Amino acid sequence: MYLPTKKWLIRPLVALLLNGALVGTAACSSDDDGDLVADVASGLDDRGYASIDRLVTTDWLADHLDDDGVLVVDLRNEEDYAAGHIPGAVRVTPGATFQAEVDGVPGMLPPADAVAASLAAIGATPETTIVFYDGIGSLWASRAIWVLAVYGHEDTRALDGAWGLWESEGLEVSTDAVTPASATYAFSGAPNSKLIASWDE
């Protein structure tokens, strides 16, 4: 198992988020739709995860970087992104996009319309396969997946091993900033309250 340097204690938390709170939500399109992720399990099925529905390997991502339906999102800081990122990845500031202050309480779920506007700004549509990665053991990637799962985006993924594994494997890195064309994005349906713990719970 790949454990990011000095971040290995985060992995159990990430595994719980990916395998617990998100299991049962829609994960991928059907084979009838020309499934972009038909081979996503390759390299993950023997890792012991309870579920791999929300993960992609570095090999899978390297093979699908040029796919029109795949959007790679870098959740690291601006300096790290500028120093080198996965080719084609757009940078999003996770704290401003996937959390909000509500009634003086920080770190809360942001409103659906704000999240939808952020997705539209990076060119995502409801049909897009969005692959998140960060540099802190997938903590922000897990948060992003949870937020989008609550609001009903059908296909979100985390890069297994995050940026650290991509870099350590010597895979292609770019320093070209990506300015995506905006799109139209709107969530349909009500938020999935089963993915949100109440104060009483």
- Nearest CA to 4 out of 165, 172, 167 is that of 165
What gap in Å lies between CA 131 and CA 142, rounded to an integer? 11
- Nearest CA to 132 out of 90, 95, 170, 169 is that of 90
How much is the pLDDT for 47?
A: 72
CB-based contact 94:134 (threshold 8 Å): yes
Place of tokens 């870098």: 74
How much is the pLDDT for 42?
A: 54
pLDDT at residue 13 above 50?
A: no
The residue ranking higher by pLDDT, 201 or 114, is 114
The residue ranking higher by pLDDT, 12 or 113, is 113
Largest CA distance in the chain: 47
**DSSP SS3 for 33:** helix
Query: What pLDDT, in 10s, does the model give residues 111-166?
Result: 999 999 999 999 999 999 999 999 999 999 999 999 999 999 989 999 999 999 99
How much is the pLDDT for 49?
A: 80
How much is the pLDDT for 6?
A: 34
How much is the pLDDT for 32?
A: 37
Place of tokens 């509500």: 102
What six digits make up the tokens of 193?
Answer: 């309250």
What six digits make up the tokens of 181?
Answer: 């064309």
Q: What is the pTM of this model?
A: 0.80
CB-based contact 18:158 (threshold 8 Å): yes
The residue ranking higher by pLDDT, 198 or 76, is 76
Query: What pLDDT, in 10s, does the model give residues 23-68?
Result: 333 333 333 333 434 344 456 877 778 888 999 999 999 999 999 9
Give residue 94's pLDDT band: very low, low, confident or very high (50, 70, 90).
very high
How much is the pLDDT for 174?
A: 98
CA angle 147, 152, 158 (to 5 degrees): 55
